[in-house]
Structure 1
Amino acid sequence: MSSHKDKVALVTGAARGLGLATATKFLDQGWRVAMLDILGDTLREAVTGLDQAGRVLVLEADVSDPIKVAAAVRQTQARFGRIDALVNNAGIAIFKPILEVTLEDWSRVMAVNLTGPFLMTQAVAPLMRDQGGGAIVNITSISGLRASTLRVAYGTSKAGLAHLTKQQAAELGEYGIRVNAIAPGPVDTAMAKAVHTPEIRADYHDHIPLNRYGLEAELANAICFLCGDQSGYITGQVIAVDGGFDSTGIGLPTLRGQRKNS
């Protein structure tokens, strides 16, 4: 097995948020990292802040464009010689009532959230196969496991990605390639802070056994675990990293109150 200083991760959607947190975690563990994002200026600014120029490759690309995906994988191989882990994190969300979602909205969400991970994996898997194996982590969502309002395109794309994960695991396992998915629940990202009102946050807390939002660093920990040697017999899994949100039905606030008063 390669030591961490030899290992290479390719992280999409790496300019900010969970992608940046994951890339940072890999770097902290001694990996070299190819960071890919469509937001080139934001990505370059983030990489400058990391101060890891010799161990980072900047890739500006749209994951739904097969030509740019192939070029990005070639650049990564040329720079680092291998790819041990692929994190398919790039994604977009268009939140609208179902009857207001246009075909253009639907098509773009599917292209990035579902076709993107398909294309990235198709491009990276032959390299992993030839080098003896690797690990792929797809970032789906709790919205792919539980339906909610305003998410007809986003939730459906993430549900598709959860099943794509299982298909990839079933067919790539013989090459030593493991494929798993993380399904984040409510996470305290900059976007959540901007759009989740106190009322929305209270609603989420009411249905999360741990009674709080997750942290990007906690999700990055799970992703890096699934890419590492300690998870060597785990594949084909969709793991909800959500504070228990997916496991819980209605009535949690009332039950908490009864417990406190008993």
Structure 2
Amino acid sequence: MTPTEPAPLTGASAPCWVHLVTRELDAARRFYGAVLGWTFRPGAMGDDFVMARSGGVPVAGIGAVASAYHVAVAWTPYFSVRDADVASDRIRERSGTVAVGPLALGLGRALLAADRDGASFGVWEWTGRAATLAPNGSPAHAWLRLRTRNAFDAAIFYGEVLGWESGEPGGCEVAYVKEEVLVRCDGRPLARISSGAVESAPDPMVRPHWQVQFPVDDVAATVREAERHGGTVLERRGVPHGSEATLRDPDGGHFTVTDVRSPADSDDD
């Protein structure tokens, strides 16, 4: 439910970490190791947590706590902030929901929340410097897409909660691209916000949600490997400059793989 360890550090208010809450840790390790080529090491939170690594770089946390905490199996993005208490107050003031926290965890503090349209996300209070999904000048190891009711309203909510457009060094800025919002952090595109989700839709793919997207070299090969290891294809689509597929792991966690290397390249022309 919370980051096992923050990623390498740079700017505030940025997407900083992605975390999978699942039920069975060994099964998740087998699936994501085979599909995404990750390796794993023990997490700082105990035996139920591991950190996934790609090429020696920490890319994600996995915690087998869905049953113990009575929460859904899901991938969740985390955003770095200076003060989790301030972020918690801002979320509630803007009709969002704080489900858990802030809690002291390792080197920081975390909370799990939902925006006013119901999309779940986490907040990580950083110590000294903030984390990012694109560490040390390397390509982003994940990027995010929020599918929500109204992209512009959502950008205002997250901007006010997280301090986007604050002008801080390494902070985030938003740009309006056609009917979407592109979020750049320290000058690098890391998230995109799209309109059109339906809050009451029975299909979770249609309801407002944060979509965690992992770049891969070959989407078709990754899809085949996922199916071979018990995953399910929920959606495949071509996008400008590439393609993407949304998958469900054997325990029910949704994630997307894409050969597009940046949310800035995924305009629907």
TM class by smaller structure: 0.3 to 0.5
Alignment TM-score, normalising by the size of structure 2 = 0.33
Q: Between Structure 1 and Structure 2, whose CA radius of gyration is higher?
A: 1
Structure having the higher strand fraction is 2
Structure having the higher helix fraction is 1
